[in-house]
Amino acid sequence: MRVFVPFDATAPKTRLSPVLDAGERAAFARAMLEDVLEAVEVAGGEPTVLATDSIDAPAPVTVDDRPLDDAVDDRLADAERAVAIVVADLPLATPAALERLFGADGEVVLAPGRGGGTNAIVARRPDFRVDYHDASIRDHRAIAEGIGASVHEVDSYRLGTDVDEPADLAEVLLHGDGGAATWLRDRGFELAIEGGRVGVRR
């Protein structure tokens, strides 16, 4: 399956600025992207990075500097067969989780992300469109319903765990074993256990 992985090549992961400086955010975002690309490939997908600017990556790169929704919509409209969109900040994504995504029935398959996001999509309808703003999972359900497409939601913690905020780094340390997890550990991040949910400290 053709898999597009949108990537902000200019100022990624700004919400991690309380714990990572700009250079670190760029490097960590790249580490997460590479984890995702590798998992997609092992799961049998054919990844293409859909980047806002030219980057070196271990997969083909298509540059499209328009807003995310426009860039993704064009790939959906051009698709003659199924196409997947997988966000780049899923360092817990495993081949097994992605195989469940790619293999799920449904003209539109959605993997919800924490806080209303949509972390992965498979579209088997060229008339499906995306709206990644705000509670996108609700919008994507409505858009699919509006075109009469059958919807399936994939129930995956790993695909649901996008990394945007400092607390999310704990998830990477707890459950990750790829390059992003190694990157964090090498920079001195470790779990901070203070009752309730764990966080990170450095």
Q: Residues in the site for a copy of itself, rule: CB under 8 A?
A: 15, 94, 96-97, 100, 111-112, 114-117, 134-135, 137-138, 155-160, 164-165, 167, 170-171, 174-175, 191, 193, 195-198
How many other C-beta atoms are found inside a 10 Å radius of the C-beta of residue 40?
27
Of 26 and 111, which has the nearer Cβ to a copy of itself? 111
CB of 156 to a copy of itself, least distance (A): 5
- The CA–CA distances, whole Å, from 73 to 7, 69, 82, 132, 155 equal 15, 6, 13, 11, 24
By CB atoms closer than 10 A (0-12, 13-18, 19+), residue 56 is exposed
Residue 92's nearest CA partner among 164, 160, 145, 2 is: 160
CB of 135 to a copy of itself, least distance (A): 5
Of 63 and 192, which has the nearer Cβ to a copy of itself? 192
Of 73 and 139, which has the nearer Cβ to a copy of itself? 139
Of 83 and 159, which has the nearer Cβ to a copy of itself? 159
